Amino acid sequence: MATIKDVAREAGLTVGTVSRVLNNRGYISEATRENVYRVMKELNYQPNEVARSLSKSKTNTIGVIVPHIVHPYFAKLISNLEKAASDRGYKMLLCNSREDQNREQEYLDMLKSNRVAGLILCSARVKTESLADLGIPVITIERSVGAGTASVECDNYQGGVMAAEHLIACGCKYIINLGGVEQTKMPADSRETGFLDVCGRYGVTAIGKKSLEDEYYAMEYHEYIEKIIMENPQADGIFASSDLLAAQVLQVCAKLGIRVPEQMKVVGFDDVNVASLTTPPITTIHQPVREMAETAVELIIKSNKGEMIPTRTLLPVSLVKRGTTQ
């Protein structure tokens, strides 16, 4: 089994330099870092995480708590977070809370005891005072909870603006916004606000309809969608706050004999894989998930180096035109 001395010898470096690469300590050039990782891979060298953690107050592991792992958006986010962490010499410890506050608290306690380098929180169930007591950098994604955390978000309001402007430009006169959850603060709320602001400015009829908690948790919206469409037969456009929701809109329209995009135009949000796999493929608002993941990991690293980090980072979105509107 290869040792750190073997890595140092093959890389032509000292053991101390290799150790600094593994522990992200001190200045290390990118060329040296890549050389060490290349040799580690060639020798199949696996650092001893337990031994490394004993020599410092934190491990090179980043904790991530998500409310779902099967939702297409969170699946894409998790994949990008893991890559962003790995590219920077960190491992990721993934926790699926399933929207359970008690489970989230248990995960927080576990991550703290495991001395993670930081926490990326993609859910808002946990009590804010619990975050303040962690003593590690906490970065939230698409959630703003305060308590000394820093958030990374996409411009949800502008996404709603873009969706409305596009549907109106396509000739829609009566548009439904589907998304958000009754009595729950969510990113979809800002999307709805941007959407309604534009529709009001253009004098276009627009209504917003939120789902119930049970529908959101189960990710099952067919009855909710069908009921709203049947109640609004004059609707000719729908803005869905996720591509998962938009895909189910297409299924309901097919069931009701409504042709998309001829009779109903549809815009989603997220730009996950499902958006390009439906028939027709879904016009959507692209959320910069890769950039959001990279930013979140970078903020943890900078915070641990003692650098000042912004309390909020807002990244731009863009419109991707596909078959549901053209």
Task: Give phi and psi for 143, each to the nearest 5.
Answer: -145, 135
Contact 206, 164 (CB under 8 A): yes
Residue-wise DSSP of 157-189: HHHHHHHHHHHHHTT-SEEEEEEEETTB--HHH
Predicted local confidence at residue 145, as pLDDT: 74
Predicted local confidence at residue 55, as pLDDT: 46
Q: What are the pLDDT digits (tens) for 152-181?
A: 999 999 999 999 999 999 999 999 999 988
CA distance 208 to 287: 21
Predicted local confidence at residue 54, as pLDDT: 45
Predicted local confidence at residue 26, as pLDDT: 62
Q: Which tokens in the block code for residue 229? A: 């469409």
- 263 contacts: CB under 8 Å, gap ≥ 6: 236
Predicted local confidence at residue 49, as pLDDT: 57
List the domains of the chain with CATH numbers.
Answer: 4-47 (1.10.260.40), 61-154+289-315 (3.40.50.2300), 156-288 (3.40.50.2300)
Angle at 300 between CA 295 and CA 305, to 5 degrees: 120
pLDDT in tens, the chain (326 residues): 788 889 999 999 988 788 778 766 666 788 888 899 899 989 988 776 554 554 456 789 999 999 989 999 999 999 999 999 999 999 999 999 988 888 988 998 899 888 899 999 998 777 666 776 778 899 999 987 766 689 999 999 999 999 999 999 999 999 999 998 888 888 999 999 999 999 999 999 999 999 988 898 889 999 999 999 999 999 999 999 999 999 999 999 999 999 999 999 999 999 999 999 999 999 999 999 999 999 999 999 999 988 889 999 999 999 999 999 99
CA distance 212 to 268: 19
Specify whether the backbone of 266 is left (phi greater than 0), alpha (psi in -120 to 50) or beta. beta
Angle between helices 4-11 and 30-43 in degrees, nearest 10: 120
Host H or E run for residue 266: strand 265-270
Q: Which tokens in the block code for residue 249? A: 């809109």
> How are strands ordered across the β-sheet holding 283-286?
205-211, 174-181, 237-240, 265-270, 283-286, 318-320
Q: Which tokens in the block code for residue 57? A: 């107050």
